[in-house]
Amino acid sequence: MMGKRGLPLLGIGFLAAGFTLIVLAGAFGAPGSSPTQVSWGIGPGGMMGFGGPGFGSAPDPGSSGFVAGTAAAPRVVRIVASEQLRFIPDVVTVKAGETITFEVTTVGMSVHEFMVGPAADVAANTTGTPEIADIGMMQAKSLTYTFAGSGPFSFACHAPGHYEAGMKGSIVIVP
């Protein structure tokens, strides 16, 4: 069964391996750990472009190589929306005034949303707050947002029941 016919199977194997890695990443992203500091040793872009704990994200403030995102060149932050109704990472550090492109990937069967903005609006699911709707399984969708002012800012999923289950995250603004 190996030989040339084995190659497509090998591809499926890699896909499965990538999925397993993300599931593991989810486990490591449990409350109390420091997901943004976990490194899998895979460079920018990450395996198959998926997010993970800092997976493929550009360096954040305080990390070497940090470059503040601008409207012309937003900084990319990749976030996983997990089947456990969590965002990984659930804390994102942003330099005041930065423009960030969030690339949100759903891992698992549940469909998620990603809303970001002033914390009060995100908590209340205020109409007009920037949001990505309907991020299905293995889909990655992006939203670009400029953090003007000192906040507080946050992000959340308002798919039915998800926010109530704790599917939210916070933005830490640093000067």
Candidate list 167, 170, 171, 173; residue touching Cu ion; CB under 5 A: 167
- Applying CB under 5 A, which part among 22-30, 39-47, 105-113, 123-131 lies near Cu ion? 105-113
Candidate list 75, 78, 112, 141; residue touching Cu ion; CB under 5 A: 112
* CB-nearest residue to Cu ion: 157
Candidate list 75, 78, 162, 168; residue touching Cu ion; CB under 5 A: 162
Candidate list 22, 77, 159, 171; residue touching Cu ion; CB under 5 A: 159
**DSSP class per residue in the chain:** --GGGHHHHHHHHHHHHHHHHHHHHHHHTSTTS-GGG---S--TT-GGG---SSTTPPPPTTSTT-----SSSPEEEEEEE-TTS-EESSEEEEETT-EEEEEEEE-SSS-EEEEEEEHHHHHHT-TTS-EEEEE-BT-EEEEEEE--SS--EEEE--STTTTTTT-EEEEEEE-
Closest separation in Å from C-beta 157 to Cu ion = 3
Size of the site for Cu ion (CB under 5 A): 5
Binding site residues, Cu ion, CB under 5 A: 112, 157, 159, 162, 167
